[in-house]
Structure formats: structure tokens, C-alpha cells
């Protein structure tokens, strides 16, 4: 009689149940997770999911700010088309050069750059204080500098050289000393958190040098060959002595007046805090550029600065705001990219001084030579 084979003991049954084994192997035990291992895996999955949610949230925030910035630019451009003093071609040149070419150059030349380590804390109190101070600075720019000049001795204001120094002192006080004191004593920030570090000097000789040289050269080429700021150089209005002695001195002066003043405030303070608040460097760049441009709008409205900018002597408030976005906000994008990629204030100071060298050289020579 044939021997009956029980189904549960057959090789087919063992293979299907995952319990088949090779000759000489010990029986396999079924796999079970202990309670601690199960809890650990659940925590790992939860953490991964939360990180994914955070990344999606940051991306959405970045995209939203970028879209809002682009919409504001398009709306401002459309408003300015009705102003007869506005030159659309010039605005397009500014957009291409300062909004695309130079930022792209800054990004490409910092691919291997290692940013300096600064504080990325951003609480609600810091953000409230920052917004309040930006508003205060905008109001100060309406007539504050002129009010101070009116209360100074006439001998000081009549001398162009003394007035030059007083102007620098006012800028250093408003844009550097006071905000640093507020964030130093209220929130514990140090100079290194604004990109002023010894490591920054070493980085200038390594990974941050390329962006300084490339962007500075691009700025100088644009100013000399295209912008009106280089017309006096092209026409040979300066002597050899003025060029040899004046260019280095003017560059050093601009390191402080525009390099330290504007980069400390708009990049080291404003952009850093906004980027930390939104957890996005792109959002920080867009918002900082808008604030940088809008901070100049009161001057166009109340101090007739629009005539110097080609906006007309008495622009409306809407035209002043629109021009600030279309022209001035775009000009700050390049510096925002450099700051986001390096966190090196010294590098930004050098680039900014080089960019403003040719347009400001004539005034420097008339004052000091």
C-alpha cells in the first residue's frame, strides 16, 4: 500500500509557508519585532514623514514669495508704462544685467564655495524688531539727513569735505551701529553673525575669491562700456595723477560708505533674518530686494530724487513705489545671491565698492582733489 503523505509535511507546503530549509540548516524561526524595535521603526517613519512635510512646506513658501515678487514686478512695470519719463528699454537692460546675468554669474562662481557659519535663529521678537526698524529707517530717509544738516554749524555744512565725512557718519550710525546694538544687546548677536569673521579673510583667498573677481569685473565692464557712470572715463576727463591716486582712495571710501553700510544692513541683517524666518534663501533674497527698493521710495516722493533717476521731478506715490521695485529692487538681487552662497560680508563689501567705483569717482575727485 502506498504511503500517505500529509499535506502539511510536504515540501510544497513548506515552500509556500516559507519554512523550507536546506540540508544541514537549522530550522528558521519566524521573524518578530520586539516592542522597542517596533517603536523605533515607527519613530523613524514618523520623523521621515515630518521631514518630508517640512520640505514641502519650505518649497511652497519659497514658491509663494517668488511668485508674489514676480507679480509685483510685472504690475509695477505696467504702471510705469504710463509715465512719459520712464524708459522701458533701460528697465529691460537693468532686468537682464542685474536680474539675470550677474546673479547667474554669482551663482556659478560660488558652486564650490563654503558659506561662513552664522546664527540662523529667527524668533517672532527679532522679526517684529526688524520690521519696526526698517519702517523707522524709511521714515528717517524722508527728511532726517536734511534735518540733521540744518542743526549743524554752518562751517561744517559749507565744507564739501566735512559734509562728506558727516554723511558717512550718519550712514554708519543709522545702518550699522544702531541696528547692531539693538540685536547685540536684545538678542545676543555678535559681529560674526553678520558675516564679519576672520574666516572670511581666509575664504577670500580660497573659495570666495572667484565670485569677487568675476562679479566685480562684470560690474566694472558694465559701468565703463554701457552705463553713463563710465562716460567721464571714456572721454578722458581725469588726469593720470587723479586716476593713480584717486581710484584706490575712492575704492577704500566706498568700502565703508556703500560696502559696509548697505551690505551690513540689507544683507547681513535684513536678508539673514528673513531667510531664517521663511527657512528659504530664495525668499530672503526676494523680500530683501523688495525692501531695498521700497526703502528709496520716500526719497522719490518727498525729496524730488526721482528727477535724478529719470522718473520726473514730481512723481506720484504709485510711480515712486513702482520705480523702486522695477529698478532698485532688481539691482539688489546679485548681492543677495552672493550673500546667500557665502555669508561673507567682506566679499560683498569688495564687490559693492567695485560696482559703485566709476559712477562715484567724479564726485570724489571734485571733493578731495
The pLDDT tens digits along the chain (369 residues) read 444 444 444 443 444 444 444 444 444 444 454 555 555 554 544 444 444 444 445 566 668 889 999 999 999 999 999 988 888 999 999 999 999 999 999 999 999 999 999 987 778 899 999 999 999 998 898 889 889 999 999 888 889 999 999 999 999 999 999 999 999 999 999 999 999 999 999 999 889 999 999 999 999 999 999 888 889 999 999 999 999 999 999 999 999 999 999 999 999 999 999 999 988 999 999 999 999 888 878 777 766 555 556 666 677 889 889 999 999 899 899 999 999 999 999 999 999 999 999 999 999 999 999
Phi-psi region of 197 (alpha: psi -120 to 50; beta: other; left: phi over 0): beta
How many angstroms separate the Cα of 368 from the Cα of each of 87, 244, 314, 357, 361?
A: 34, 14, 33, 15, 11
Query: What is the biggest distance separating any 2 CA atoms in the chain, rounded to whole angstroms?
Result: 130
Name every residue whose Cβ is closer than 8 Å to that of residue 129 and which is 6 or more positions away in sequence: 182, 183, 186, 187
CB of 295 closer than 8 Å to CB of 139:
no
Phi-psi region of 108 (alpha: psi -120 to 50; beta: other; left: phi over 0): alpha
Kindly compute the dihedral angle of the four CA atoms of residues 332, 334, 337, 342, in this order, to the nearest 10 degrees: -110
Q: Parse the chain into domains and list their residue ranges.
A: 69-368
Helices and strands, number each (H, E), in the chain = 22, 0
> Tell me, what's the pLDDT at 211?
97
pTM for the structure as a whole: 0.81
How many angstroms separate the Cα of 252 from the Cα of each of 18, 99, 142, 177, 264?
A: 79, 27, 28, 19, 16
How many angstroms separate the Cα of 182 from the Cα of each of 131, 178, 281?
A: 13, 6, 24
CB of 80 closer than 8 Å to CB of 319:
yes
> Tell me, what's the pLDDT at 28?
47
Q: How far apart are CA 369 and CA 363, in angstroms?
A: 10
Q: What are the backbone dihedrals phi and psi of residue 353, each rounded to the nearest 5 degrees, phi first? A: -65, -40
> Tell me, what's the pLDDT at 86?
87
Amino acid at each position: 500500500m502506498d504511503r500517505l503523505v500529509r499535506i502539511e509535511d510536504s515540501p510544497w507546503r513548506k515552500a509556500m509557508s516559507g519554512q523550507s530549509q536546506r540540508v544541514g540548516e537549522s530550522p528558521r524561526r519566524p521573524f518578530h519585532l520586539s516592542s522597542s524595535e517596533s517603536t523605533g521603526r515607527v519613530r523613524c517613519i514618523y520623523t521621515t514623514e515630518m521631514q518630508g512635510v517640512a520640505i514641502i512646506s519650505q518649497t511652497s513658501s519659497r514658491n509663494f514669495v517668488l511668485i508674489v515678487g514676480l507679480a509685483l514686478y510685472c504690475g509695477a512695470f505696467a504702471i510705469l508704462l504710463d509715465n512719459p519719463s520712464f524708459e522701458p528699454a533701460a528697465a529691460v537692460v537693468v532686468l537682464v544685467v542685474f536680474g539675470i546675468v550677474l546673479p547667474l554669474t554669482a551663482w556659478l562662481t560660488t558652486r564650490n564655495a563654503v558659506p561662513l557659519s552664522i546664527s540662523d535663529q529667527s524668533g517672532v521678537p527679532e522679526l517684529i524688531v526688524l520690521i519696526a526698524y526698517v519702517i523707522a529707517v524709511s521714515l528717517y530717509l524722508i527728511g532726517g539727513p536734511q534735518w540733521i544738516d540744518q542743526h549743524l554749524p554752518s562751517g561744517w555744512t559749507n565744507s564739501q569735505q566735512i559734509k562728506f565725512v558727516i554723511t558717512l557718519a550718519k550712514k554708519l550710525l543709522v545702518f550699522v551701529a544702531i541696528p547692531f546694538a539693538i540685536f547685540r544687546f536684545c538678542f545676543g548677536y555678535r559681529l560674526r553673525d553678520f558675516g564679519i569673521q576672520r574666516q572670511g579673510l581666509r575664504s577670500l583667498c580660497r573659495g570666495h575669491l572667484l565670485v569677487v573677481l568675476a562679479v566685480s569685473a562684470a560690474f566694472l565692464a558694465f559701468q565703463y562700456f554701457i552705463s553713463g557712470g563710465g562716460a567721464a572715463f571714456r572721454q578722458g576727463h581725469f588726469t593720470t595723477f587723479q586716476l593713480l591716486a584717486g581710484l584706490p582712495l575712492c575704492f577704500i571710501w566706498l568700502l565703508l560708505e556703500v560696502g559696509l553700510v548697505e551690505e551690513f544692513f540689507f544683507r547681513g541683517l535684513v536678508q539673514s533674518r528673513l531667510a531664517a524666518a521663511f527657512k528659504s534663501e530664495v525668499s530672503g533674497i526676494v523680500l530683501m530686494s523688495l525692501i531695498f527698493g521700497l526703502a528709496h521710495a520716500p526719497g522719490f516722493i518727498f525729496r524730488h530724487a526721482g528727477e535724478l533717476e529719470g522718473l520726473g521731478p514730481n512723481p506720484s506715490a504709485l510711480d515712486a513705489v513702482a520705480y523702486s521695485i522695477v529698478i532698485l529692487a532688481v539691482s539688489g538681487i546679485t548681492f543677495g545671491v552672493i550673500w546667500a552662497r557665502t555669508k561673507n560680508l567682506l566679499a560683498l563689501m569688495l564687490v559693492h565698492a567695485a560696482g559703485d567705483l566709476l559712477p562715484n569717482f567724479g564726485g570724489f575727485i571734485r571733493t578731495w582733489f
